[in-house]
Amino acid sequence: MTMKDKFEQIKKNYDELTARLSDPAVINDQNRYRDLAKNHSGLGPLVGKINEYLEAEAAIADAREMLETEDDGDMRRWLHDEISTWTARQAELEEELRVLMLPKDPNDEKNVIVEIRGGAGGQEAALFAGDLYRMYTRFAERRGWKARVLSSSASEVGGFKEIIFEIYGRSAYSVLKFESGVHRVQRVPVTESGGRIHTSTVTVAVLPEAEDIPEIAIQPQDIRIDIFRSSGPGGQSVNTSDSAVRITHLASGVVVSCQNEKSQLQNKEQAMRILRARLYEQLVNERQEELASARRLQVGTGDRSERIRTYNFPQGRVTDHRIGLTVHNLDGILDGELTPLMDGLVAADRADKLEQFG
């Protein structure tokens, strides 16, 4: 199939979707209408670029046809300029179309659940887990997104042994999905009297929300729910009521605990959200492993055990090891100025896909 054939097929699909959205039977079925409208909206920018490309192609053809019969020197020079201008624009549009036609990640538009856990380094790792939590929530604020803590376990010196939170925002997963992995920090801990630099690690996992996914349907018989008394910071009801919830998924062995809310029902709902996200992550990882021999992302596998970034405090720099990018703005990065890193990762992923899919 030639590129022009592909363009015609895409435009045909777009026109068919446009017609179906006017069908009363579709309008009365809200779920069906929502799905079709989403597909229609996704194709809109691509169809717009296709029309621009075809217009440029037609303009070039018209100019060349006129050159065959034109004798006036000034007119011929103008036509040559027109052909050069439209040819350059057509090349730009072709590159833009190649990007727009790349396979889309079905999770890109979703909200995310972020899990941060202290790794090697004890108290220093817990403190840095708190720094990363602030970094991501500040980044979310800068983009107009909202964050909500689902579960947390504070450390004795500040920071978190573990914190799980959700970020709500348009295309949050498409932006944050490359953050999964091991984040390494090099700095002098506040408890270090000799001024020696310590290296600690924190693990980050970014999971797409897994609501309304048929493959992640959880039946009551699939889980065991245990109720226990909350402990640690959390309000007046802590240690006075059995509101904390632990859910065990029997088939996979995945265990989720939530105790941040005063209500047992709220803790159960939040634990189920985290459980669904983790089960979905397992499903996606299994599928990716099947494709690993054919393709391995340049920006990383997304595996929780992969070291992806180093935050070096003495030198004030942050290095992303997957793309070899170093930014000398550590304070800004930790305050949520992640755009340089995010843009670099997205560009690398796009280049990798273009190479893979031609």
Which of 203 and 209 is assigned the larger pLDDT?
203
The amino acid present at 88, given as its one-letter code, is A
Which of 185, 140, 195 shows the shortest CA–CA distance to 159? 185
Q: Which residues are paired to 160 by β-bridges?
A: 154
φ, ψ at 256 (rounded to 5°): -130, 130
CA 252/CA 129 separation, integer angstroms: 27
φ, ψ at 296 (rounded to 5°): -130, 120
206-241 pLDDT per residue, tens = 988 876 665 677 888 888 988 887 765 444 444 456
pLDDT at 303 over 90: no
pLDDT at 294 over 50: no
Structure tokens at 230: 């909350």
Residue with the two structure tokens 């005063």: 262
Give residue 281's pLDDT: 81
Per cent of the chain over pLDDT 70 is 88
Structure tokens at 75: 């007119």
Enter the pTM of the model. Answer: 0.72
The amino acid present at 283, given as its one-letter code, is L
Q: What is the CATH architecture assignment of 102-358?
A: 2-Layer Sandwich (3.30)
Which of 140, 272, 266, 254 shows the shortest CA–CA distance to 212? 272
C-beta of residue 177 within 8 angstroms of C-beta of residue 113: no
Mean pLDDT of 7-30: 90
Give residue 241's pLDDT: 63
With b for 16 or more beta-carbon neighbours within 10 A and e for fewer, the 324-343 pattern comes to ebebeebeebbebbbeebee
Q: Where are the domains of the chain?
A: 3-100, 102-358
Which residues have CB under 8 Å from 205's CB, separation 6+? 114, 115, 180, 281, 304
Residue 127's CB: how many other CB atoms inside 10 A? 23
DSSP label at residue 263: S
Return mean pLDDT, the chain: 85
Distance of CA 5 to the CA centre of its chain: 32
Residue with the two structure tokens 């397992």: 282
Mean pLDDT of 140-169: 90
